[in-house]
Every structure is written in structure tokens, then in C-alpha cells.
């Protein structure tokens, strides 16, 4: 799995079996030019993994050299009870079945935070279901209490799905609500809830949640405040290749305007114990092709994250040869979202040493980062 196995694109375009369209795209990437929507679709339809990984690695090396990033983080999931019933979700429980789930109080969440008092974590990732009682006052109080207890802990919390519901209930505009959340201690936003932006598909798999336009508006509002966030895409279900490119195109346009996204995280659809269990999961090869195309298409995103807790550590390693330069963090078995959906990682937890070895085993240089990609520790000189 060493990175040296990936050929340079200049070698690929000499291949007589490569179509003129794929040669033209490869030449664009070599020239550091942006590809079009139609060229993105061509990559999905005709690009073989070797070709795609070669192009993706060229982009990755230009942006991040041979570095791969990770952080010390843990998750808090305040509830898995939810007013929404997304058909792809194995995690949430409807309010009428709330006895099957959990709803944590502020004090219970703080107890989880305090468990990490003597550990070198830099980020808490907070997201979960949407319930009326975990409202605007609940979260502003929670953020203030976390900051009062541990001021330097970065709070990355709540998706636009949650904020849209919370602010609507509190009769606040997005800007008013986000400003108050920032004042309370919110540092950045995760990228969840994006699912797929196409309205027809979104209505089928995530009807009732905030629209694609509202998701994008919330991120744009936050980023125009000088703050940062992530972006995701749920792939491998009933969407087409065109839907994936449309999703990334909307993200690319927003990033052109704001430069506020830290990373893009492709999220694989998992079919265990949900309403879409009849939809087969895509192959690992398709996972890797998707990472590579994301790296090629999202030319204004600095980082592509292979979320190991979702795809498994082995596939995450492979993704590092397909354009990804980040594998998330230690996690410490604090998230159930993907384990409940059938991920290979049923107890997602990696030590620093395990993460460093995972990265070094594919010929990359591990760098511990904070949430905003400032370097905390470079492991290039450490055995």
C-alpha cells in the first residue's frame, strides 16, 4: 500500500488505451486547471481506479505534500431520539419510541467532558438527533459550561439540520442564532446533514429536514462570520453520479465565495437496520474512486478526510493513496452513528500510536493537528 505504487499522470496520458476525454482531463489536472461538471461525471462513468488515484495523488501532494493529519478528539451524542425519520438512518429513534434511545441532560454531558480532563484531547464533536427539549437555551448553556470548565477545548457542534430546527423554534434568524452560539462558545460546525443536495433524492431519503439551500445558507452565514466548518456527502445509495457531482459543485461554489470549509468528508451509506436495507452497499473500489474524484473535483478544499470509523481502518489506509490526507482522530469509542449502521469498526477507538503506525505503514508522514489544521506535533522525526 506504499504511495510509490501510484504512477504520475504524465505516464498515464501516454497510454494509448486511454480515451481522449480522460487524457484531456488528466492534462487539465497536470496544468492545475479546474475541471467542469461534465468532466466530473466522465470521471465517475469512465475513470478506472488507477487513473483516478494517480490524478488525486498529484492534487494531494500539491496541497499537503506527504502529510496525513489526525487529531485527539471525542464525540458526545446528546440524543439519538429525533423528530425526523430519515430512511437511511440506523441511529435515530422517533419520539414515539424514545424509550429505545437516550436523551442526555446538560450535567450528564458535562460528566462525559470531565472524563477527559487529564487527557490531551483538543476537540469535542457534538451532534445527534433533534428533539424539542434540547433547544436554543439547552445548547447555549451547555457550550458556556464546557468553556467555563475547559476553555481551550474546541467545540465542534451541531449540523445545519439541528440549527435550522433550533433557530426556527427560537424565532431567530440564522445569523442571530449563530452569533449567539458563537458567543456561548461554539468554535466550528461539523459537516453532517448534507446527505445529497438533489431535491428529488433528498426528499426520498431525508424528507422534512432542512433543504439543501438552507444547509448551504447556514454554512455560508457561519463562514461569513470568519468561522470554519466541514462538508459531507452521503453516497452509495439511490443517487446517480450526476447527483454526486451536483453536490460537490454546490460545495465548490460556496468555497469559492467564503474559503470557510476545512475539509470534505465522503460518508458511505450503510444498510444495516434501516428502511433502505434492501439497497446494497457499494464496493471498496467505489469508495476509493469516490475519494479520488472528490479530491480532483474539489480543487479549492485543502483537505479530504477518510473517516476511518465509518469505512474501517484498512479502507482508510487505501484512501490515503486516493487523495485523502486526513483520517479524523482517536474518537475513543464515543460515537454510535456508524457502528449501529454496520460499520466494520464496532468500537471505534485508536490510540495515538495506532494512528501514527496506520499512517506510516502507507509511506505518509503523520501530523497531529487541531480542528483548524494547525500542527500540534509532526511525527516525521519520531520512530
Q: Over pLDDT 70: what percentage of the chain?
A: 88
Radius of gyration of the chain (CA): 20
Average pLDDT of the segment spanning 44-56: 96
Residues forming a β-bridge with 367: 69, 378
What pLDDT score does 36 carry? 98
Backbone dihedral region for residue 158 (phi beyond 0: left; psi -120 to 50: alpha; all else: beta): left
Average pLDDT of the segment spanning 312-323: 94
pLDDT of 219 strictly over 60? yes
Q: Which of 356, 358, 355, 288 is nearest to 323 (CA)?
A: 288
pLDDT of 177 strictly over 70? yes
Gap between the Cα atoms of 280 and 358, Å rounded: 29
Residue 166 pLDDT grade (very low, low, confident, very high; cuts 50, 70, 90): very high
All three cell numbers of 28, joined, read 487539465
Gap between the Cα atoms of 350 and 148, Å rounded: 28
What pLDDT score does 71 carry? 93
Contacts of 280 (CB under 8 A, 6+ apart): 271
Q: Would you list the domain boundaries of the chain?
A: 3-62, 67-378
Helix, coil or strand: residue 89: coil
168 to 73, 175, 309: CA distances (angstroms)? 30, 12, 32
Gap between the Cα atoms of 191 and 264, Å rounded: 8
282 to 208, 285, 290, 312, 368: CA distances (angstroms)? 26, 8, 10, 14, 31
Average pLDDT of the segment spanning 181-193: 97
Average pLDDT of the segment spanning 133-142: 96
**Exposed e or buried b for every residue in 146-173, given b needs 16+ CB within 10 A?**
bbeebeebbbbbbbbbbbbbbbeeeebe
**Exposed e or buried b for every residue in 287-304, given b needs 16+ CB within 10 A?**
bbbbbbbbbbbbbebbbb
Assign a CATH topology to domain 67-378: TIM Barrel (3.20.20)
Q: What angle do CA 13, 15, 16 make, to 5 degrees?
A: 115
Residue 308 pLDDT grade (very low, low, confident, very high; cuts 50, 70, 90): confident
- Which long-range CB contacts under 8 A does 252-256 form with residues at least 24 apart? 252/297, 252/298, 252/299, 252/300, 252/301, 254/216, 254/219, 254/220, 254/223, 255/298, 255/300, 255/301, 256/300
Tens digits of residue pLDDT in 237-265: 999 999 999 999 999 999 999 999 999 99
pTM for the predicted model, two decimal places:
0.91
pLDDT of 337 strictly over 80? no
pLDDT of 2 strictly over 50? no
Residue 364 pLDDT grade (very low, low, confident, very high; cuts 50, 70, 90): very high
Average pLDDT of the segment spanning 12-23: 86
Gap between the Cα atoms of 82 and 97, Å rounded: 10
What pLDDT score does 134 carry? 93
Tens digits of residue pLDDT in 67-95: 999 999 999 999 888 876 666 665 454 55
The residue assigned the cell 457542534 is 157
Whether residue 228 contacts residue 188, with contact meaning beta carbons closer than 8 Å, is answered with yes
What pLDDT score does 259 carry? 98
Amino acid at each position: 500500500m506504499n504511495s510509490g505504487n501510484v504512477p504520475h499522470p504524465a505516464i498515464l496520458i501516454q497510454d494509448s488505451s486511454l480515451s481522449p476525454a480522460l487524457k484531456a482531463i488528466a492534462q487539465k489536472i497536470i496544468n492545475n486547471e479546474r475541471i467542469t461538471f461534465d468532466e466530473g461525471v466522465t470521471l465517475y462513468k469512465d475513470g478506472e481506479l488507477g487513473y483516478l488515484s494517480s490524478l488525486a495523488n498529484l492534487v494531494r501532494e500539491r496541497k499537503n505534500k506527504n502529510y496525513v493529519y489526525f487529531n485527539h478528539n471525542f464525540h458526545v451524542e446528546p440524543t439519538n431520539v429525533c423528530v425526523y425519520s430519515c430512511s437511511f438512518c440506523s441511529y435515530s429513534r422517533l419520539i414515539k419510541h424514545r424509550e429505545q434511545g437516550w436523551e442526555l441532560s446538560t450535567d450528564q454531558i458535562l460528566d462525559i467532558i470531565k472524563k477527559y480532563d487529564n487527557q490531551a484531547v483538543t476537540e469535542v464533536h457534538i451532534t445527534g438527533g433533534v428533539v424539542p427539549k434540547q433547544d436554543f437555551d439547552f445548547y447555549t448553556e451547555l457550550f458556556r459550561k464546557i468553556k467555563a470548565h475547559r476553555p481551550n477545548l474546541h467545540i465542534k457542534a451541531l449540523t445545519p439540520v439541528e440549527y435550522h430546527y433550533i433557530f426556527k423554534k427560537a424565532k431567530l434568524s440564522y445569523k442571530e442564532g449563530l452569533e449567539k452560539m458563537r458567543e456561548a462558545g461554539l468554535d466550528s460546525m461539523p459537516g453532517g446533514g448534507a446527505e445529497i443536495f438533489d431535491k428529488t433524492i433528498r426528499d426520498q431519503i431525508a424528507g422534512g429536514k432542512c433543504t439543501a439551500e438552507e444547509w448551504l445558507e447556514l454554512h455560508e452565514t457561519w463562514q461569513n462570520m470568519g468561522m470554519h466548518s466541514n462538508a459531507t456527502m452521503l453516497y452509495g445509495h439511490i443517487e446517480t453520479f450526476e447527483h454526486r457531482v451536483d453536490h460537490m459543485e454546490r460545495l465548490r461554489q460556496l468555497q469559492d465565495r467564503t474559503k470557510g470549509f476545512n475539509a470534505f468528508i465522503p460518508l458511505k451509506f450503510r444498510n444495516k437496520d434501516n428502511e433502505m436495507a434492501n439497497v446494497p452497499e457499494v464496493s471498496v473500489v467505489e469508495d476509493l474512486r469516490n475519494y479520488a474524484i472528490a479530491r480532483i473535483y474539489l480543487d479549492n478544499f485543502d483537505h479530504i478526510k477518510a473517516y476511518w470509523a465509518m469505512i474501517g481502518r484498512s479502507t482508510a489506509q487505501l484512501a490515503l493513496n486516493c487523495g485523502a490526507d486526513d483520517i479524523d482522530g482517536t474518537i475513543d469509542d464515543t460515537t454510535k452513528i456508524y457502528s449501529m449502521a454496520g460499520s466494520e469498526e464496532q468500537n471505534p477507538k485508536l490510540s495515538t500510536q495506532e494512528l501514527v503506525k496506520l499512517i506510516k505503514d502507507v509511506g505518509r508522514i503523520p501530523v497531529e493537528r487541531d480542528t483548524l489544521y494547525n500542527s500540534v506535533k509532526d511525527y516525521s522525526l519520531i520512530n
